[in-house]
A and B are shown apart, each in its own frame.
Chain A
């Protein structure tokens, strides 16, 4: 991901072998950026939104769940997945709330420095651009993780109060993995936000571009995947094999969307009874007891490719931003 360095057009990245570590000053950047985030009004608003949705969904969920206390091994997980009309479940909220939080954190990361005319001052210090960009990304990632952890604790606390039972060991483990997954999902959108902040000098334009991408994956990509699958794997005669091929292609295409990856992996982690995320043929079900929950390790393995996909997407977007940022003229 850093191979671009030696061929980059900008001077401070030009030498084939650079002096010192590319990460000199990284933690200075991270701590400054985090301090900025935590003291900003933006952060307050984001916290407020998430706390409200968390509280709202948990209250409606607990109202339903109280009846099943004692019967359900995974009662606590249901806190996150139980929906009640007209509200979606908390995970349903997260699918679109996390991208918005992430974009709101990142859309002015780089262009903000240019607009404040602080970029040339920063880059005149003994650090590389690498440290600045990674520092900004890590700070936003840590901030997001902090927000999410707060919400997790809040939900757990509320659930404890309203349901009167503590989460079990496996539930806690599943929720921790789910937290990690959510942070990884946020990482993609943070990287996208930072990329937009490199591409566009106007923060408003960057925010709009990132939000448009989000909207594309949230609303349109599912439709497009369906259409593409119909075109590429048409059902001519109506054979089951044809139908299956089309459905499989549609699913594969739809998984290019981080939203889909996240949703599927969430299902694997929070609904232990789910045994497969792809189309299940009757032959594959042999030996499997329907309804029997998967052990934690297998649930994780089920969602693992998705998690890796999210991380790979993050790295890809970040690397793209990195290359562009290295080549950027620093003159305001």
Chain B
């Protein structure tokens, strides 16, 4: 498979403090990878090293088959980077801001013009192209940042906390855009400390803690690893005393909790709604509602560290 980004033993030390510790990471073409973890975990430091914007203390990086320290110009021409809290020249218009970046990328005036218009239109900013950026909302700035990246037709996009500071609606729109980009086959890496927002768009996530990537993989695999499942199935059903027992006998259900007179919450290894429905009917019950909730990253994260803490105490 086509590898877009590869880090081996990537380490960053600030004095004695280890900000990123021996990170191994591989991202394949077309993937959306989420770098998740609390503030100060080392996400931004990792991204800066991947882009060659800060020098690793140890380890190696290959981006699009190139070493960003040796071929910074080629790497930067092909990778789009949206920094956290992206800023623009407030007195310049959206178009002028992008025009500067286009010149830095060496596009001809004509090419720049068409690329800029296309990118701004794509991000829904065509109406405000010639307005000063000082009038832009946080969400518009974020989209302008993405327009700048799209203008470069990048093969890889790296975004640092792209939804930070956006209101829920703007954040949702932004995640929608990320999904669109993914469907076009662009490889995306994004970082966030807002686990639930990101889990919806990522194929694979890496959970960061104190400079270490402690967990890595698709969300449902992690859920199975850490939670032993992690799906929550809510059942609204009426039936006799045997109903609860019948539910707990369903293959893959790990725990049944009674949440009300007619309400059960099941912990399961997957989305078992068909099997649960069958079990309710077979037990002679009446099914009113059935809902499944995918595993929650926050839960995975919390549970993982609980386990760690318990293990540490036991050891």
Q: Is A236 in the interface zone, CB < 8 Å from B?
A: no
Q: Is A179 in the interface zone, CB < 8 Å from B?
A: no
Residue of B69, B74, B89, B103 near A11 (CB, 8 A) is: B69
* CA distance in complex: A273, B91 (Å): 51
* CA distance in complex: A31, B102 (Å): 13
B150-191 contacts to A (CB < 8 Å): none
Contact call B54/A126, Cβ cutoff below 8 A: no
Residue of A18, A31, A126 near B106 (CB, 8 A) is: A126
Q: Is A329 in the interface zone, CB < 8 Å from B?
A: yes
Q: Chain A residues near B69 (CB, 8 Å)?
A: 11-12, 14-15
Q: Is B56 in the interface zone, CB < 8 Å from A?
A: yes
Q: Is B140 in the interface zone, CB < 8 Å from A?
A: no
Q: Is A145 in the interface zone, CB < 8 Å from B?
A: no
Contact call A19/B72, Cβ cutoff below 8 A: yes
Q: Chain A residues near B148 (CB, 8 Å)?
A: 121
Contact call A126/B76, Cβ cutoff below 8 A: yes
Contact call A20/B55, Cβ cutoff below 8 A: no
Q: Chain B residues near A292 (CB, 8 Å)?
A: none
Contact call A126/B104, Cβ cutoff below 8 A: yes
* CA distance in complex: A10, B48 (Å): 11
Contact flags A95-136 to B (C-beta < 8 A → 1, else 0): 000000000000000000000111011111111100000000
Residue of B55, B67, B81, B103 near A124 (CB, 8 A) is: B81
Contact flags A126-159 to B (C-beta < 8 A → 1, else 0): 1110000000000000000000000000000000
Contact call A32/B53, Cβ cutoff below 8 A: no
Contact call A19/B54, Cβ cutoff below 8 A: no
Give the size category of A's interface with B: 20 to 34
Residue of A20, A118, A329, A331 near B89 (CB, 8 A) is: A118
**Smallest Cβ distance from A12 to chain B, in angstroms?**
5
Contact call B83/A124, Cβ cutoff below 8 A: yes
Residue of A19, A116, A125, A331 near B101 (CB, 8 A) is: A125
Q: Is B257 in the interface zone, CB < 8 Å from A?
A: no
Contact call A330/B53, Cβ cutoff below 8 A: yes
Q: Chain B residues near A24 (CB, 8 Å)?
A: 73, 106
Contact call A126/B87, Cβ cutoff below 8 A: no
Contact flags B59-90 to A (C-beta < 8 A → 1, else 0): 00000000111111110110111010111111
Q: Is B51 in the interface zone, CB < 8 Å from A?
A: yes
* CA distance in complex: A14, B68 (Å): 10
Q: Is A320 in the interface zone, CB < 8 Å from B?
A: no
Q: Is B52 in the interface zone, CB < 8 Å from A?
A: yes
Residue of A29, A122, A329, A332 near B54 (CB, 8 A) is: A329
Given contacts A19-B74, A331-B44, contact A124 B51 (CB under 8 A): yes
Residue of B49, B55, B90 near A116 (CB, 8 A) is: B90
**Max count, chain A CB within 10 A of own CB: residue among B48, B73, B89, B145:** B73
Q: Chain A residues near B100 (CB, 8 Å)?
A: 28, 32
Q: Is B105 in the interface zone, CB < 8 Å from A?
A: yes
**Max count, chain B CB within 10 A of own CB: residue among A11, A15, A25, A329:** A11
* CA distance in complex: A329, B19 (Å): 14
Select from chain A the residue with minimum beta-carbon distance to B83: A120
Residue of B55, B77, B87, B105 near A121 (CB, 8 A) is: B87
Residue of B86, B87, B103 near A28 (CB, 8 A) is: B103
* CA distance in complex: A28, B49 (Å): 26
**Max count, chain B CB within 10 A of own CB: residue among A32, A118, A121, A329:** A121
Contact call A120/B53, Cβ cutoff below 8 A: yes
Contact call B86/A124, Cβ cutoff below 8 A: no
Given contacts A28-B104, A116-B90, contact A11 B54 (CB under 8 A): yes
Q: Chain B residues near A14 (CB, 8 Å)?
A: 52, 55, 69
Contact call A11/B85, Cβ cutoff below 8 A: no
**Smallest Cβ distance from B146 to chain A, in angstroms?**
12
Given contacts A28-B104, A118-B88, A120-B81, contact A125 B74 (CB under 8 A): no
Contact call A330/B70, Cβ cutoff below 8 A: no
Contact call A20/B104, Cβ cutoff below 8 A: no
**Max count, chain A CB within 10 A of own CB: residue among B53, B69, B87, B104:** B104
**Smallest Cβ distance from A209 to chain B, in angstroms?**
24
Contact flags A293-316 to B (C-beta < 8 A → 1, else 0): 000000000000000000000000
Q: Chain A residues near B56 (CB, 8 Å)?
A: 11
Given contacts A11-B55, A124-B51, A331-B44, contact A19 B70 (CB under 8 A): yes
Q: Chain B residues near A10 (CB, 8 Å)?
A: 53-55
The 6 closest A-B CB pairs, nearest first, are: A117-B87, A28-B103, A11-B55, A124-B81, A120-B83, A126-B77
- A interface residues with partner B (beta carbon < 8 Å): 9-12, 14-15, 17-20, 24-25, 28-29, 31-32, 36, 116-118, 120-128, 329-332
Could you list 16 A-B pairs, sorted by A, with CB under 8 Å?
A11-B49, A11-B69, A14-B55, A15-B69, A20-B73, A25-B103, A31-B103, A117-B86, A120-B83, A121-B81, A121-B145, A124-B76, A126-B72, A126-B73, A126-B76, A331-B54
A11-B55, A11-B69, A36-B89 known; 5 new pairs, CB 8 Å cut-off, are: A19-B74, A124-B83, A125-B76, A126-B74, A128-B72
